[in-house]
Amino acid sequence: MGRKILLVTADQQRHDALGCNGGKIARTPIIDGLASQGINYTRAHNQNVVCMPARATIISGQHVRTHGVRMNGIPLPEDTPDIARLLKEQAGYKTALIGKAHFEPASAPGAPYFENYAASQDITGPHRGFDRMELAGHTGRAGRSLFHYPKWLEETAPGASQSFQEYVSPEREISGKPGGDTGAVQVWHNSISKDLYHTNWVADRTIAWLNSLETDADWFCWMSFPDPHHPWDPPSSELGRCNWRDLDLPDAYPGSVEATIKVLEGKPRHWLDWYLGRRQFAYEVPKNFVPAQMTADQIREVNAMCHIENELIDDALGRVLSRINERGWGEDLDVIYTADHGEFQGDFGMLFKGPYHVDALMRLPMIWRPAPSARIAPAVVSQPVGHVDIARTIAQAVGVKPDPRMQGAPLPTSAKNNRERVITEWDGGFAGESITLRTLCRDGYVLTACEPGSVHDGSEGELYDLTNDPKQFQNLWDEPCHSSLKRDLIADLYDHLPESRNPPLEQVALV
């Protein structure tokens, strides 16, 4: 028998959400335990800070400009490299994805993609190398797409789906009033029971799939939690886990509107435009939401909801790992834990995500607990790594030949390695705006070049010294004493960008 692979992803979870990464609120003992037994990558970055491009990179092992899913709403071509298909075809692995996939647009007109119609037609695969797919999104409501979870919920507990807050609609209005205790955007008190909530459902369905396998089966399962992505509406029964009134404001919250404006004035102009509500650059920002109008208590409540949802993910993962051990697979189990992207959660006075390449959105939790039978010593790796490395890591662990089109490299297993850089990109357009960002992280610096578009003329950018300015408040881009460093980092960035896909893939929907 070979090694079993459990790939676990959270959605919109920050690097510092976990205790093992310095988080002091959410209790995450299961994930922290994996970090202590395995390898914790403390400078892991995504290659794009929104869902579809990030997930396309994870499954394909390719940079965004190579697989072509440069923004949400672009379906991943089925002929790209695919780690699930590779394990299935080369090594006979049983494969499943339970939870959020998002390789195909959820809002595509006419529901032409598998992810749009599978649940309504009682189909669970095969698709994209997975024998089985059972899909969930961020709400139990039957919205633009009827995934397996809301269908199951309506059949199991008719009417329960109405307890969820609605996700931002295609018109970017908010369905329902701002809620919670503070009237915060996309916050809601959800009367659904914990047993019926989608985090619990993902764990239950994963366990059911594992129970269907023969003891001697080799398997790869991608367990993909929709939380802590908005809407922030965990079961009300769990609100006692974290009282928002007890929370401090985030370290990277400047402290007032005036202080925030002063910080953002030192950054490229799209930061302040977005904060003041003058322009919109990303679909998922509700139409009438202006970050500068958000109160400190609303930031606290959003953070409390995220902490609660992170604890529920940790609990659910613990149940799955317990069942894996009961099946006798524990010694041969590799666990990779990460998120697709982060969330501002009040940093810089912001919420949600967009074309902003700072730690809140770009830096990820990433933990690899190799199979105990592999005898790989625990380590903390501070050198830069990325999503692009995951597919080759899995291929190497299983012992199959990677698709030669996969980029990246197997994740290093010790702090003694030659990793130098990780690259993140943004090629996004929305509401008539276009922003293109190219970002390099190396040697303790993050450099972002703003290429020409509707906002920038190509002269603007960002440069942060992560050692002396971990909050990324002080932009060194225009500082004369850093001009030589800036020049060297720009050259390194463009020397290591892969070739772009030509022609570019077409965006067929917003998300």
Domain boundaries, the chain: 4-249+282-418
What is the C-alpha to C-alpha distance for residues 190 and 262, in angstroms, rounded to an integer?
Answer: 37
Q: Which two tokens stand for residue 467?
A: 């050692």
Predicted pLDDT of residue 170: 43
Q: What are phi and psi of 218, to 5 degrees?
A: -95, 140
Q: What are phi and psi of 509, to 5 degrees?
A: -155, 175
What is the C-alpha to C-alpha distance for residues 508 and 73, in angstroms, rounded to an integer?
Answer: 6
Q: What is the DSSP string of 80-114?
A: S--HHHHHHHHH--EEEEEE---SS-TT-TT--SH
Instruction: Please report, to the nearest 10 degrees, the dihedral formed by the alpha carbons of residues 121, 122, 124, 126 taken in order.
Output: -50
In this predicted model, what pLDDT tens digit does every residue of 453-499 receive, in sequence order? Answer: 999 999 999 999 999 999 999 999 999 999 999 999 999 999 999 99
Q: Are 324 and 330 in contact (CB under 8 A)?
A: yes
What is the C-alpha to C-alpha distance for residues 281 and 270, in angstroms, rounded to an integer?
Answer: 8
What is the C-alpha to C-alpha distance for residues 114 and 105, in angstroms, rounded to an integer?
Answer: 10
Tokens 């959105």, located at residue: 361
Q: Are 69 and 507 in contact (CB under 8 A)?
A: no
Predicted pLDDT of residue 314: 99
Q: Which two tokens stand for residue 364?
A: 């990820």
In this predicted model, what pLDDT tens digit does every residue of 345-358 receive, in sequence order? Answer: 999 999 999 999 99
Beta strands in 119-264 (DSSP E): 132-135, 219-228
Q: Are 46 and 58 in contact (CB under 8 A)?
A: no
**Helix H or strand E segment including 484:** helix 483-495
What is the C-alpha to C-alpha distance for residues 235 and 161, in angstroms, rounded to an integer?
Answer: 12
Kindly give the pairing relationship between strand 4-11 and strand 219-228: parallel
3-state secondary structure of 426: strand
Q: What is the DSSP string of 178-196?
A: -BTTTTBTTB--B-S-GGG
Per-residue pLDDT at 382 exceeds 70 = yes
Q: Which two tokens stand for residue 372?
A: 């105990």
Average pLDDT over residues 85-109: 96
What is the C-alpha to C-alpha distance for residues 20 and 368, in angstroms, rounded to an integer?
Answer: 13
Per-residue pLDDT at 172 exceeds 70 = no
Predicted pLDDT of residue 500: 94
What is the C-alpha to C-alpha distance for residues 42 and 15, in angstroms, rounded to an integer?
Answer: 8
Global model pTM greater than 0.85: yes
Predicted pLDDT of residue 286: 81
Q: Which two tokens stand for residue 356?
A: 């902003």
Could you give the maximum distance between any two Cα atoms of the chain, in Å? 64
Average pLDDT over residues 180-188: 95
Average pLDDT over residues 368-384: 98
In this predicted model, what pLDDT tens digit does every residue of 28-42 receive, in sequence order? Answer: 999 999 999 999 999
Q: What are phi and psi of 281, to 5 degrees?
A: -125, -5
Strand partners, 464: 446
What is the C-alpha to C-alpha distance for residues 174 and 288, in angstroms, rounded to an integer?
Answer: 9
**Percent share of the chain, pLDDT over 90:** 91
Q: Which CATH class is domain 4-249+282-418?
A: alpha beta
Q: How many CB atoms lie within 10 A of CB 256?
A: 11
Beta strands in 216-339 (DSSP E): 219-228, 333-339
Q: How many CB atoms lie within 10 A of CB 92?
A: 10
Per-residue pLDDT at 168 exceeds 50 = yes
In this predicted model, what pLDDT tens digit does every residue of 106-138 receive, in sequence order? Answer: 888 888 999 999 999 999 999 999 999 999 999
Query: What angle do the packed helices 296-326 and 198-211 form, to 10 degrees?
Result: 10
Q: Are 432 and 395 in contact (CB under 8 A)?
A: no
3-state secondary structure of 301: helix
Cα Rg for the chain, rounded, in angstroms? 21
What is the C-alpha to C-alpha distance for residues 239 and 307, in angstroms, rounded to an integer?
Answer: 10
Would you place residue 145 in the very low, low, confident or very high pLDDT band (cuts 50, 70, 90)? Answer: low
In this predicted model, what pLDDT tens digit does every residue of 431-444 receive, in sequence order? Answer: 889 999 999 999 99
Average pLDDT over residues 54-79: 97
